[in-house]
Amino acid sequence: MSDFPEYLKRLRSGDKTLNPFLDFMGMILEELGDGHARFRMPIRPEFLQGAGVVQGGLLVSMASETIAHAVMTVLKSGEGIATIEVKNNFLATAKAGVLIAEGKVFKKGRTVIIGDCIVSSDSGKALSRTTSSILLLAG
């Protein structure tokens, strides 16, 4: 989608048809502002891997989506984005409760935007930190 302002407006209004991945994951938008996004996601039993903790890739996926949405809030009309690199550090595990992802735009350059996201448990324990480099595509 290249009309990010319209997408974000509809997402804020609760339109779940816009992004099937958010709906599939159960990610719920909580905040969206100037270079910032916050989502929450209840942990479901099918998110647990063999050791009984949330599978790490889900944390990375949640962080990546959160960073992308934070970036969308700072785009100009007609600009697009493509993720070119994601780096993640796992800090702790979770078994139940709600995951909270807080993403922000760290730096917006002429061609690359760097975003950062912390995924935490609902008790406030940091579970992972993700940094993403995103290519800015001219419209």
Helix axes 56-72, 4-12, angle to 10 degrees: 120
From first to last of the 139 residues of the chain, give the pLDDT tens digit: 468 888 999 999 988 888 999 999 999 999 999 999 999 999 999 999 999 999 999 999 999 999 999 999 999 888 999 999 999 999 999 999 999 999 999 999 999 999 999 999 999 999 999 999 999 998 6
Domain region containing 20: 4-137
pLDDT for 77: 82
Say which amino acid occupies 39.
F
The CATH number assigned to the domain holding 111 equals: 3.10.129.10
Amino acid making up residue 111 = T
Task: Give the chain's domain count.
Answer: 1
pTM for the predicted model, two decimal places: 0.95
pLDDT at 115: 98
SS3 38: strand
Nearest to 34 by CA among 129, 113, 131, 104: 104
Q: Cα angle vertex 19, ends 15, 64, to 5°?
A: 125
**Cβ proximity of 77 and 139 under 8 Å:** yes
The whole-number pLDDT of residue 3 equals 83
